[in-house]
Amino acid sequence: MILQTRGKATHLEHFIVGKISINKVEKDAIVSINDLNQVEFNHLSQSKAILTTFPLDSFTDLNLPIIHSVKNLEHLKQNDIIVLNTNGVVNTLYRENSYHNFLFLTERCNSNCLMCSQPPKDRDDTAYFYEINSKLIKLIPKDQCETLGITGGEPTLLGERFFLLIEELKKNLPTTFVQCLTNGRSFAWPNLAQKLHSINHNNLLLAIPLYADIPEIHDYVVQAQGAFNQTIKGIYNLARYNQRIEIRIVLHKISIVRLKELAQFIYKNMPFVEHIALMGLEMEGYTPYNIDKLWIDPYDYQEILQEVVHFLNDFGMNVSIYNIPLCLLSEDLWSFSVKSISDWKNIYFDDCATCTKLNECGGMFKSSIKKSSEFIKAFS
């Protein structure tokens, strides 16, 4: 699935965020034009901007911001929300027919995880992404958006602007469930946990990764000394203020070693967490470069996974398995498996077409083409 395209920008001095209207002029919408016969040219000036596959000379008398000569616009649907950038890049920000929409807040991060799928970049993009997301939140239809993610980088590095966006979400999309991926380290400072609490967004869940019950392993995985202590402090500060928390554990060769101890640690010390997600590895970003350190076939950790999932479940913790197809899970774990992979990066292999479990199975990451388990096999 395509979420980005590019054309040539004209009359575009600042980025524009807007809703798409296809071949039809709508006030304050970005008109996406791939059929000139359908367009009412004398009303075009009412629109916010034009995005088109045609060259600029089809629109010579117009003084509107235009991105023209785009190869293909078929991935855009009516009412999708996009941003037109001054360099001609067009990013899809929100798709009306998807459950996998997210706000991307920054490429910066204070960790540098071995398996980061979106390796951090050290440039200050926080003002740019704040402005985009602030405009986006106001355009998302109220009461139609059931769920929305927040991701990065590390979203809390937006500082004050992070809290402003949470306030805007609460005000504009109060019924939308918001899941924020954060390493939790910023909340080691109690005033930040308190600040989040003061916004009182009841539909906000903070999803925080933890890779071991001891600092040595967690800090190694996230490549940041002191991160474990900060994350644990952050989790406790958030719990003190009754914030909703999920713990995320990516399963790989390093985290598997103490997975049982980590499960006990969470049960004993964090009974307040709302959900624990045990997650298969994505072959994206840094992972292929660290494959020797990280790769273990899911088939080979089934016994440990069974023990951990049943332990947490038996003791009343809410536990799920993400990103692992059913043919790699023992049957007693199927009821914990969730179709978790975002639609734009979710695939099934050719053999899956004949699999009797196809409809129940969440499939694989697109990046699994680079490396995947030897044991993926269709059920007959």
Binding residues (CB under 6 A) for ligand SF4: these are 325-327, 348-349, 351-352, 355, 357-358, 361, 363, 376-379
Least separation in angstroms between residue 356's CB and ligand SF4 is: 8
Q: Do 64 and 54 touch, CB atoms closer than 8 A?
A: no
- C-beta of 269 vs 356, nearer to ligand SF4: 356
Q: Do 73 and 34 touch, CB atoms closer than 8 A?
A: yes
Least separation in angstroms between residue 362's CB and ligand SF4 is: 8
* DSSP codes of every residue in 55-118: -GGGGTT--S-EEE--S--TT--TT-EEEE-TTSEEEEEE-TT-S--EEE--S--S---TT-SS
Two structure tokens written together for 213: 């019950």
Q: Do 41 and 22 touch, CB atoms closer than 8 A?
A: no
Continuous segment of H or E residues that includes residue 303:
helix 302-314
Give the pairing of strands 81-84 and 89-94. Answer: antiparallel
Least separation in angstroms between residue 358's CB and ligand SF4 is: 4
Least separation in angstroms between residue 1's CB and ligand SF4 is: 19
Phi, psi of 330 (to 5 degrees): -70, 150
Least separation in angstroms between residue 275's CB and ligand SF4 is: 23
- C-beta of 7 vs 363, nearer to ligand SF4: 363
Strands (E), 251-365: 275-279, 319-322, 337-338, 346-347, 364-365
- C-beta of 157 vs 352, nearer to ligand SF4: 352
DSSP class of 151: E
- C-beta of 311 vs 349, nearer to ligand SF4: 349
- C-beta of 61 vs 331, nearer to ligand SF4: 331
Least separation in angstroms between residue 351's CB and ligand SF4 is: 6
Phi, psi of 250 (to 5 degrees): -80, 130
Cis (ω within 30 of 0) for the bond into 362? no
Strand partners, 250: 279
Least separation in angstroms between residue 197's CB and ligand SF4 is: 41
- C-beta of 6 vs 377, nearer to ligand SF4: 377
Residue type, 266: I
- C-beta of 41 vs 379, nearer to ligand SF4: 379
Least separation in angstroms between residue 280's CB and ligand SF4 is: 11
Q: Do 248 and 210 touch, CB atoms closer than 8 A?
A: yes
Least separation in angstroms between residue 278's CB and ligand SF4 is: 17
How many whole angstroms from its chain centre is CA 222? Answer: 18
- C-beta of 266 vs 352, nearer to ligand SF4: 352
Q: Encode burial over 361-372: b for 16+ CB neighbours within 10 A, e otherwise.
A: bbbbbbbbeeeb
What CA–CA distances, in Å, run from 156 to 68, 91, 297?
A: 36, 23, 33
Least separation in angstroms between residue 376's CB and ligand SF4 is: 5
